[in-house]
Amino acid sequence: MKEIFIQQKDKIIEFWKIRSKREKGIILSSILIFLIIVGGGSYIATRTTMVPLYSNLTLQEAGQIKAELDARGIESEITDGGSTIHVPEELANNLLVDLAAQGIPQSGGIDYSFFSQNSSWGVTDNEFDMMKLDATQTELANLIKSIAGINNANVMITMPQQQIFVSDDQGEASASIVLEVAPGYRFEPSQINALYHLISKSVPNLPVENIGIIDQNFNHYDLESSGNFTSGDIYASQQAIKKDIEKDIQRRVQQMLSIMIGADKVVTSVTADIDFTQENRMEQLVDPVNDEIDGLPVSVESIHETYTGTGPIEGTVGSGENDVANYPAGDSGNGDYELIQDSVNYEFNRIQREIIESPYKIRDLGIQVAVDRRKDTIGEDGQPVLLTPAEQANVESGIASILDSIIQTTVDGSYETTTNTPNVSIVFQEFGGMNPIEQPTKFEIPFWIMIAVGVLLLLIVILVIILATRKQNNFEEEFAYTAEAEVGEEISLPDIDEAEPTESTMKRKQLEKLAQDRPDEFAKLLRSWISED
C-alpha cells in the first residue's frame, strides 16, 4: 500500500514538473474556482432562510415574542431597531397561529373586549370612565392603523366634564393624534378630509375643529389647508405650465421654419411671459333697452289743470304757502290758471355678472431664431458657399413677418403695448455642430447568465487540458514501447556476415545473456574462474 502511495506521489510530482507555468496557473485557478463553487453551493443549500414573523412592533411586544421563541428553542433575529422579528421560513406560519392562540403579542392597551373578560360589580364610575376612554383610544388607534400608509398611531382624547345640573351646553371633546407615516407616502386632500370625519364620528361630541393631527416629522395635517398648494407646489405648477406653453409654440415655429429653410438649417427658442393672476369680480350694470329710447315705460301719470274767471283764486287772502311774502294779493281782475304735469317711470336692463377670468394669459412672447448661413453647395475652394447680405435680408424679412403674426395672435389683447421693443431675434451663423448619430442600443446580458457562461467555459478548458494530457501520456508510452521493441529487434537480429555458430560462439552468447539477465550469478562465475586461475 505504501509503495502504491509513493508511486502515485511520484507520478503527480513528475506530472507537475513537466507542466508549463501557464498550465500550472490554469490548473490552480480551476481548482480554486471549483472549491468556491462547491463551497458557495453548500452554503446556499444548507443556510436557513429567515422571514419576518412580525413587523412594526413596540419594544414591549418584541420582548414578549422573543422570550416565547427562546423558551421554545427557536432561532430568531431582531432587526429594524427591535421592531421586526425574523424566524425560519418553514416555521413562520405555524408560529403565527400558535402565538395568536396564546394572545401574543399583548400591546398593553385596553380594548372593548376587556369589559367582557373583566366584568365586575366593584368598579367605580371614575375607574369605568378611565377604562372606557382607554378602550376608545385603543380602538381608534387600531382603526387608523388599518389605513394604507399609516404604520402606527397614538391617540389622546379629552372628554368634557359631566355637568352636575342639566344644561344645554354639553361640552365638546378634543383629540390629538400622532401618525407614523410610511416613508415616501403622501396623503391626498380627500384622504385627510376622510380621516378627520372618521375621527369625528368615532367619538361623541367631537367636532372636526377640535382635532389635531401631526406625523412623526411634525408635519401638520389641517382640514382647511389640506387641499391647498404650498408655495413650492404653486411655483412648480406655474413653471410646468410656462414650459409647456413655450414648448408648444417652439414646436410649431420649428416645424414651419424647417419646411421653409430646412430641418438642419434653423434652430428656434421661445420665451413666454405668463400672467397667472386669477381675477374674480361682480358687475351690476343698468343699460337702456335701446340707445334711441330712454327705456320701457312702466307707469305714466298725466295731470292737467286749467282755470279762467274773475276774482282771486280760491284760497287764503294774503301770503299763501307758494306766494312770495310782502306781495299783496289782488282784490279784483280776471285770472287764468293752467297746470300740466306728466310723470313717466321707465325700466332699464339690469345685468348682474360674476366674472372669473382665466389665470393663464400670455402677457409677452419672445422668439429667437438662428439660421445657418451656409448653402448646400461647395465653392471652388472646397468651402461651403455663404448667403449674401441680400439673401440674408430676404430670409430675415420672411421669417420676421411670420413671427410677428404669431406673436400678435398669441399675446392677449389686453397686454398689447405701443413700445417698439423687438420680440423677434434672427441671427445668421455658421452651424459647427453635427447631428448626433443615434447609437444602437446595447443588449445587456444578465449577470447570472455571464456567470453560467464563465463556469461552462472553465469546465470546457479543464476538459480540454485533461484530454490533451492523457493524449500526451499515451503518446509517450507508445513511443517508449516502440523504441524498446526496435532495440530488442536490433539485438536479436543475427549478423549477416557471421559464419556458422561454433561451440565457442555459443558459450559466448550464453555468457552475454547470463550477464544481462542475472548479473549477480555472472559475477559469482567470474570470481570462481579467477580463483581457479
237-254 residue pLDDT tens: 888 888 999 999 999 999
What's the whole-number mean pLDDT along residues 25-54?
82
Helix (H/G/I), strand (E/B), else coil: 529: helix
Residue 532 exposed, middle or buried by CB count within 10 Å (0-12, 13-18, 19+) = exposed
Q: Which of 134-143, 401-410, 511-520 is least confident?
A: 511-520
Q: Residues 438-444: contacts with CB within 8 Å, 24+ apart?
A: none
Q: Residue 282: pLDDT above 70?
A: yes
* Sign of CA pseudo-dihedral 201, 204, 209, 214: negative
pLDDT at 449: 75
Q: What is the distance between the alpha carbons of residues 173 and 204, in angstroms, rounded to a whole number?
A: 7
More confident position, 503 or 16? 16
pLDDT at site 179: 93
Kindly report whether the global pTM for this prediction surpasses the value 0.85.
no
Q: How far is it, in rounded angstroms, from Cα 136 to Cα 114?
A: 12
- Report residue 219: phi and psi, to 5°: -85, 125
State in words which class domain 248-276+359-429 has.
alpha beta
Tell me the C-alpha distance between 240 and 66, whole Å.
53
Same fold, 113-162+170-215 and 248-276+359-429: yes
The three-state secondary structure class of 508 is helix
Whether 98 and 69 have beta carbons less than 8 Å apart is answered as no
% residues pLDDT > 90 (the chain) = 11
Report the range out of 36-40, 123-127, 225-229 with the highest average pLDDT.
Answer: 36-40
CB 313 within 8 A of CB 373: no
Work out the average pLDDT over 337-348: 79
Q: Say which amino acid occupies 209.
A: E
Query: Which pLDDT value is given to residue 16?
Result: 81
Neighbours of 272 (CB within 10 A): 22
| Inter-residue contact 254 to 243 (CB < 8 Å) | no
Q: Is the pLDDT of residue 174 over 90?
A: yes
DSSP state of 512: H
Contact 155, 177 (CB under 8 A): yes
At 92, the pLDDT band (50, 70, 90 cuts) reads: confident
Query: How many Å separate Cα 529 from the centre of its chain?
Result: 108
Position 530, amino acid: I
Q: What pLDDT does 155 receive? A: 93
CA distance 361 to 278: 10
Q: Is the dihedral of CA 437, 438, 440, 446 positive or negative?
A: positive
Span of 28-32, 158-162, 180-184, 525-529 with lowest mean pLDDT:
525-529
Our separate counts of H helices and E strands in the chain read 12, 15
Query: Which of 150, 161, 160, 130 shows the shortest CA–CA distance to 198?
Result: 150
The answer, yes or no, to whether residue 375 has pLDDT greater than 80, is: yes
Chain segment 306-322, per-residue pLDDT in tens: 877 665 555 545 555 55
Going by C-beta distance under 8 Å and a sequence separation of 6 or more, which residues neighbour residue 227? 189, 193
Closest to 427 (Cα-Cα) out of 473, 457, 392: 392
Sketch the domain layout of the chain as residue ranges: 2-46, 51-101, 113-162+170-215, 248-276+359-429, 280-315+330-354
Long-range contacts of 215-219 (CB under 8 A, 24+ apart): 215/178, 215/179, 215/180, 215/181, 216/178, 216/179, 216/180, 216/181, 217/181
Tell me how far apart the alpha carbons of residues 116 and 378 are, in angstroms, rounded to a whole number: 99
Residue 136: count of CB within 10 angstroms of its CB: 21
Is there a contact between 292 and 396 (Cβ–Cβ < 8 Å)?
no
The per-residue pLDDT for 525 is 76
Judge whether residue 23 has pLDDT over 80: yes
Confidence of residue 419 (pLDDT cuts 50, 70, 90): very low
Higher pLDDT, 391 or 280: 391
CATH architecture of 113-162+170-215: 2-Layer Sandwich (3.30)
Angstrom distances, CA of residue 272 to CA of 241, 254, 268, 414:
11, 16, 13, 16
Q: How far apart are CA 207 and CA 172, in angstroms?
A: 7
- Output the CA–CA distances (angstroms, integers) from residue 33 to 25, 27, 41, 463, in the order listed: 12, 10, 12, 15
Q: Which fold has domain 51-101?
A: Alpha-Beta Plaits (3.30.70)
CA distances for 231 relative to 235, 237, 386, angstroms: 6, 10, 51
Rounded mean pLDDT of 281-310? 74
pLDDT interval class at 437 (50, 70, 90): very low
pLDDT for 480: 53
Report whether pLDDT(424) > 50. Answer: yes
Give the separation between CA 56 and CA 443, rounded to whole angstroms: 42
